[in-house]
């Protein structure tokens, strides 16, 4: 299932996948990947400067992760352009979620804004039965 948020013409879509071959439930280690698609549907060129994530385990643990760019890049997106990347997250529980934002800058005037990353669930498939 794809989760979507749109902020100031920047559309962020997320698809997640559980990675059983990298996980070890007996050691409380669950690995998920997520594919992010950022589409610039605005009329302005924008650059992704920073990211901020909140990662929740179902045992009430919350982690905050922030830093420059995404996977070492600070992509510039012209109107109509798309940037995609895949990253991962590990949890201590079989159910969790993530949510966050990207600090974006309009290059024409330097105006900065936060593009929402939609909340998405991280659930081991057998938990859905």
| 127 Ramachandran zone, left/alpha/beta (phi>0; psi -120 to 50) | alpha
What is the C-alpha radius of gyration for the chain, rounded to an integer number of angstroms? 16
The tokens of 68 are what?
Answer: 């420059």
Tens-digit pLDDT string for the chain (129 aa): 789 999 999 999 999 999 999 999 999 999 999 999 999 999 999 999 999 999 999 999 999 999 999 999 999 999 999 999 999 999 999 999 999 999 999 999 999 999 999 999 999 998 776
| 128 Ramachandran zone, left/alpha/beta (phi>0; psi -120 to 50) | alpha
Q: What is the DSSP letter of 19?
A: -
pTM of the model: 0.93
| Per-residue pLDDT, 129 | 64
| Per-residue pLDDT, 128 | 72
CA dihedral 108, 9, 73, 34 (to 10 degrees): 180
Give the domains, in start order, of the chain with CATH numbers: 3-123 (2.60.40.1470)
- Asked if residue 80 lies in contact with residue 113, where contact means CB atoms within 8 angstroms, the answer is no
- Report CA 119 to chain centroid distance, whole Å: 8
| Per-residue pLDDT, 126 | 81
Rounded to 5°, angle at Cα 112 from 35 and 121:
30
Helix residue ranges per DSSP H, the chain: none
């Amino acid at each position: 299932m794809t989760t979507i948020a749109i902020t100031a013409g920047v559309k962020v879509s997320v698809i997640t996948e559980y990675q059983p071959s990298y996980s070890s439930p007996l050691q409380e280690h669950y690995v998920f990947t997520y594919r992010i698609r950022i589409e610039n549907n605005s009329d302005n060129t924008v650059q992704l400067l920073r990211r901020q994530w909140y990662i929740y385990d179902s045992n009430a643990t919350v982690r905050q992760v922030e830093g420059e760019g995404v996977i070492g890049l600070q992509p510039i997106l012209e109107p109509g352009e798309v940037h995609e990347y895949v990253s991962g997250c590990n949890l201590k529980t079989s159910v969790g979620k993530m949510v966050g934002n990207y600090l974006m800058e309009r290059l024409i005037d330097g105006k900065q804004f936060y593009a929402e990353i939609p909340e998405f669930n991280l659930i081991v498939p057998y938990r859905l039965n």
